[in-house]
Amino acid sequence: MAKVVTNTERTPAEICEGLGELGVATVHEAQGRTGLLAPRLRPIYEGAKIGGNALTCEVAPGDNWMIHVALEQARPGDILVVSPTSPCEDGYFGDLLAASAKARGIRGLVIDAGVRDVATLRSMAFPVWSKAISAQGTVKETLGNVQVPIVCAGAHIRPGDVIIADDDGVCIVPRVTAAKVLEAGRKREAMEEEKRALYAAGKLSLDVNDMRERLQRKGLVYE
């Protein structure tokens, strides 16, 4: 039943990187406020901002065996996405696996569980978004699946979907809509630039966005 799907399709690098530069908040809005992973996933250091192809990996609780299997499937630019089959905070991933992941071209790790050796991971500049930091070791006994669709932190992710991650969290963009979302995100960014200038100059969003009439119609009263 456990399987590794090889040679899955990827989203082109320039789309992944374009989405990564836009950042999580903008891309999440540009695709209609969808795709966000649960905010329990937090970066282990500030300032990382990446985009790449999802390399999906399903693991048993307290068992990191399949991460070793997944690394062989990596292509440069991938982001490893790990989800346990039941909630777990153990430290599935540390400096040894990070050394291997980096050597295979993996840009970062998204894991709905724990990681360890975080001081070393920070000094390696290997970014991780995780649910916990925990030194708890894991075993290598139970199979799982690599490069199959998974649910990670509440989001459905297929191999080759685009993962973007920054200080705001993690978002997934489906491969089939990624190009369109990139375009929409760039438009949104431009529009936000204009608004930001108006707000910084003291204009109120009530006026910039013509909200007053609708507020009144809904019944807002000023005393």
Q: Which of residues 130-169 bind a copy of itself (CB under 8 A)?
A: 132-137, 139-143, 149, 151, 154-156, 166-169
Q: Which is nearer to a copy of itself, 133 or 179 (CB)?
A: 133
**Are 124 and 95 within 8 A, CB to CB?**
yes
Contact positions with a copy of itself (CB under 8 A) in 76-95: 85-91, 94-95
19 to 9, 73, 170: CA distances (angstroms): 18, 23, 12
12 vs 213 by CB, closer to a copy of itself: 213
User: Nearer to a copy of itself by C-beta: 16 or 155?
Assistant: 155
DSSP 3-state assignment of 87? Answer: coil
Q: Does 111 bind a copy of itself (CB under 8 A)?
A: no
Exactly one of 17, 21, 117, 161 binds a copy of itself (CB under 8 A); which one? 117
206 touching a copy of itself, by CB under 8 A? yes
Report long-range pairs for 69-72 (Cβ below 8 Å, ≥24 apart).
Answer: 69/4, 69/146, 70/4, 70/146, 70/147, 71/97, 71/100, 71/101, 71/104, 71/106
Contact between 172 and a copy of itself per CB under 8 A: no
Question: By CB under 8 A, which span of 14-22, 113-121, 172-180, 182-190 interacts with a copy of itself?
Answer: 113-121
> Binding a copy of itself by CB under 8 A: which of 190, 210, 213, 218?
218
**Phi-psi category of residue 133: left, alpha or beta, with phi > 0 → left and psi -120 to 50 → alpha:** beta
Q: Is 177 in the site for a copy of itself (CB under 8 A)?
A: no
CB 34 within 8 Å of CB 200: no
175 closest CA partner among 2, 55, 3? 55
Which pair of tokens denotes residue 149? 């669709």
Selected range binding a copy of itself among 9-17, 41-49, 173-181, 182-190, rule: CB under 8 A: 41-49
Q: How far is the CB of 85 from a copy of itself (least distance, A)?
A: 7
**Contact flag: residue 188 with a copy of itself (CB under 8 A):** no
Distances (CA, A) of 10 to 31, 151, 158: 19, 19, 10
Answer for the pair 134, 90: CB distance below 8 angstroms, yes or no. Answer: yes
The verdict on 68 binding a copy of itself (CB under 8 A) reads yes
